[in-house]
Each structure stands twice: as structure tokens, then as C-alpha cells.
Amino acid sequence: MAPVYPLGVNVVIARIGGTLYAVSGKCAHMACPLFTGALDGYTLTCSCHDWRFDIRTGRFLDAPELGLAIYPAKSEAGKLYVIEPLGFKFTPDADLADFLLEQEVKLEAKNGIPFCPCQPIRRDRARDMQIVCPCIPFHRKHFDAMQRCWCGLFVHQDVTDPDSLPQLSAKETGLE
């Protein structure tokens, strides 16, 4: 069992009998980190208050109406993929992804937040919080029109050639 942070989402993954399972990394009770808990068979127990979840379904075993978000996961060529339900993925351009992630790390070290590397930080908290990477939830209509985020780190899950995608302003997409 291990914590991972695909696209900034806190997720716990576990492999049981050759099958990968991925659930929210925060307990539904008080958001305690679940990777510090125990896994016994398919039962994931939170180390803070002993809440127990079925890692296959995310359900809280003592009250099935409560639970954790679950994420489809797969392993290909030695790499783990947690399939994000928001419909985007890292760009297949590995050099661009590496460069942009390095810039994000620098921005987070400097500002304490992983800001989008292509957007200016204006020291206006309300506006700046809309460029925390991934910024897609804040600019969903624009992302859907372009099939990529502003900087190109993320593309629509069906994109194979990000160089063919247009870079459109919000005005060009009718969003401004």
C-alpha cells in the first residue's frame, strides 16, 4: 500500500492478488492519511480512529452509505496509471511534461502552492487560486474547447498528438 498524487489528488494504491486498487487517500471521517493505516485482505483500516473501508468499493464497512472515492487503476510497462475521472492526462510529450513539472516544483517551493507555470501570479488570492495546477476545474469550458490546459501539461484523455491542438484565447472560444 502506498500514497500517490496523480494530478495532485491524494490517492492510496494497493495491489492484491494481481489487481490494483486505488481509493481516496483521506479517511472519510477526519481526513486522516490512509496510507498510515493497515490493509488486511480487502479491508483498509484508518490508523486514526479504526474506520474500516473495503478497498474494492470504497465503502465504509460499518455504514455502507459512507465511503471513499475510488479510481480505476492500471499498470502498463512498469508504470502505474490512476485514471482520472475528470477526463485529462499528462501530455504524451515527455520533455514538455518534465520541463513544466520542474517549473511547478520551483513555484511550489517559492510560493507554497503548485501554481500553473504559464500563468502570472498577481498576489490576488481569489484570482491566483484559479491557477493552481491542475487549473482545469477552474477553466473547464476553455479546456474542453482546446482539449488542453493553458500550458499544455494536461491534455484531453483521447489526445495523442498535442502539437496538433490549437492554443485559443478565452475570447476566441466565446468564453470572454
How many domains is the chain partitioned into structurally? Answer: 2
| Cα gap 134→160, rounded to integer Å | 19
Q: Which CATH number fits the domain that encloses residue 133?
A: 3.90.460.10
pLDDT digits (tens, 9 = 90+) for 5-37: 665 667 888 889 888 888 888 888 877 889 899
- Which of 35, 57, 82 is where one domain is finished? 82
Query: Residue 43: its pLDDT value, please?
Result: 97
Q: Are the beta carbons of 126 and 146 closer than 8 angstroms? A: no
Tell me if 102 is assigned to some domain.
yes
For residues 41 and 111, membership in a common domain is answered with no
pLDDT, mean of residues 46-51 = 92
Quick check: is 6 in a domain?
yes
Shared domain for 35 and 70, answered yes or no, is: yes
Nearest Cα neighbor of 71 from 86, 90, 60 is: 86
17/46 same-domain check: yes
Render pLDDT for 56-96 as a digit per residue (tens, 0 to 9).
988 999 987 788 888 777 777 766 667 665 677 778 888 88
In a domain, 172, yes or no: no
- Secondary structure letter of residue 76 according to DSSP: E
| pLDDT tens profile 68-78 | 888 777 777 76
Q: What percent of the chain has pLDDT over 70?
A: 84
Write out the residue range of the structural domain in which residue 160 sits.
Answer: 88-164
Round the average pLDDT of the chain to a whole number and report it: 81
Strand partners, 90: 154
Q: Is the pTM of this model over 0.75?
A: no
Instruction: Calculate what percentage of the chain has a pLDDT beyond 90.
Output: 12
Last residue of a domain, one of 21, 50, 82: 82
Same domain, 96 and 159: yes
The whole-number pLDDT of residue 134 equals 66
109 and 134 in one domain? yes
Same domain for 76 and 99, yes or no, is no
- Do 97 and 111 share a structural domain? yes
Q: Is the same domain home to 10 and 78?
A: yes
How many helices (H) and strands (E) in the chain? 3, 11
Q: Is residue 148 assigned to a domain?
A: yes
pLDDT at 84: 61
Q: Last residue of a domain, which of 61, 82, 103? A: 82
Q: What is the pLDDT of residue 54?
A: 94
* Nine-digit cell string for 11: 490517492
- Look up the CATH number of the domain holding residue 41: 2.102.10.10
148 has pLDDT over 90: no
Same domain, yes or no, for 116 and 132?
yes
Which residues lie closer than 8 Å to 88 by C-beta, 6 or more apart? 7, 134, 136, 143, 149, 154, 155, 156, 157
pLDDT at 132 (0 to 100): 67
Contacts of 24 (CB under 8 A, 6+ apart): 10, 11, 12, 34, 58, 68, 69, 70
Residue 34 contacts residue 40 (beta carbons within 8 Å)? no
C-alpha 168/C-alpha 155 separation (Å) is 14
Q: What's the mean pLDDT in 166-175?
A: 77
